Amino acid sequence: MFSFFKKKKDLPEEKPNLEQSVKKDIEESIDNFDSNAASNNLQIEEEKKVEVKQDEEKKSFFSRALEKTFASIKNVVPQKKEKISFDEIEELLIEADVEYEIIEKAMNGLPDMITRKQLRHRLVMLFEHAPKVDFSNLPKPYVRLIIGVNGAGKTTTIAKLANKLKKEGKSVILGAGDTFRAAAIEQLSTWAAKIDVPIIKTKQGHDASAVAFDTISSAIARNIDNVIIDTAGRLQTQTNLNNELKKIVKVCSKAMENAPHQKLMILDGTQGNSAIAQAKAFNEIVGIDGIIVTKLDGTAKGGALFSISNQLELPIFYVGIGEKQEDLIEFSPDSFVDSLLDEIYISE
Ligand SMILES: Nc1nc2c(ncn2[C@@H]2O[C@H](COP(=O)(O)OP(=O)(O)OP(=O)(O)O)[C@@H](O)[C@H]2O)c(=O)[nH]1
């Protein structure tokens, strides 16, 4: 033991040559690289886990909301399978109220027996025509104008949307632009009080575009992030009301350049495919930027979402899945299609 230490001490100090020193540097930098890469990988894995969790949550929301739609497709495919025949898929899509033209488009060229992967690809593709919307760097205030027929769920959806934005830490102001019915102003005021957001309103019969102007001006003065303006329910055939809608849009742009930033059409999901004609007509009148489908929980026609998005070439931003303020979920084609396929296919 002693001799060992002695020997080592007596040895002349070794000077590392250039080759060794470069080798050491490289080894150190590989070590650093490894630990950086490891921490990056860890971060990516964490992010992936959060994404998977969010997808799972969305999927379970859809599964709850689509109970009635699932019940009808299960009449066609009662047992989960690995491969499902072309005819059965066609029949279950019809049951779910997907338009026949869309079914033909989605299934063109698929084999007699169809795997989950094959069908998933085709169904997700049906949503791809809709333009992608970039939600970063939104103008302040961001103005949304809510359009739809009577009873589609406009007022309730405005409350849900305001609640969601507030929970995300953003400020919101509502404009009671449905001046046609006193009850509509009252209903929106009750929601505003419940979720604790300010509201601009006027008396029944007064000019709706003046309410829109005042709401945007107030948001600018108070530095509020989001404006949501209600409008009276109307049919695409009511010329006077549609001229009023055009006027509201024009007046919004006078209150703030490029406002309204989003004209959102609220469609009643229980109407299935018949809601498409309605939305097409409004799209021609004022130009629609996106869709919110309500009452998905109350219908077996959930498949209409495929036709709605594909035919209108518009994004579905949210779906309503109940009457409470929390019952609004962000729409994701992937989670929607996956929850549908989970009902009929054995997982891969
Ligand atoms: N089950 C269910 N009911 C909903 C949903 N969204 C709205 N509703 C109900 O649908 C009914 C009509 O909703 P409103 O928000 O009053 O509809 P509106 O478009 O403002 O109607 P008008 O005031 O007549 O213009 C109400 O009873 C809502 O509670 C939903 O996602 N699911």
Q: Is the CB of 327 under 6 A from ligand 1?
A: yes
- pLDDT at 3 (0 to 100): 40
Mean pLDDT (the chain, rounded): 85
How far apart, in Å, are the Cα atoms of 317 and each of 98, 103, 212, 294, 305? Answer: 19, 22, 22, 11, 11
pLDDT at 4: 39
Q: Is the pTM of this model over 0.90?
A: no
Distance from the CA of 151 to the center of ligand 1, in angstroms?
6
C-alpha count within 13 angstroms, C-beta hemisphere, residue 31: 6
Say which CATH topology domain 142-332 has.
Rossmann fold (3.40.50)
State the DSSP code for 12.
P
Q: Is 148 annotated as a binding residue?
A: yes
pLDDT at 274: 78
> Is the Cβ atom of 298 under 6 angstroms away from ligand 1?
yes
For the chain, residues with pLDDT lower than 50 are: 1-16
Domain boundaries, the chain: 142-332
Task: Return the residue matching tokens 């709605």.
Answer: 308
201 annotated as a binding-site residue: no
What is the rounded CA–CA span in Å between residue 326 and residue 139?
A: 25
* pLDDT tens readout for residues 269-294: 988 877 888 888 889 889 999 999 99
Q: Where are the alpha helices (DSSP H) in the chain?
A: 2-10, 18-65, 67-74, 86-95, 100-107, 116-125, 154-167, 182-195, 208-222, 239-255, 275-286, 304-312, 333-342
Closest CA to ligand 1's atom 21: 151
Distance 70 CA to ligand 1 centre (A): 23
Task: Give dist(CA 304, CA 296) in Å, integer.
Answer: 10
pLDDT for position 10:
43
What are 139-187's pLDDT values in tens digits? 999 999 999 988 999 999 999 999 999 999 999 999 999 988 888 899 9
Per-residue pLDDT, 22: 52
ipTM value greater than 0.90: yes
Centre of ligand 1 from the C-alpha of residue 21, in Å: 74
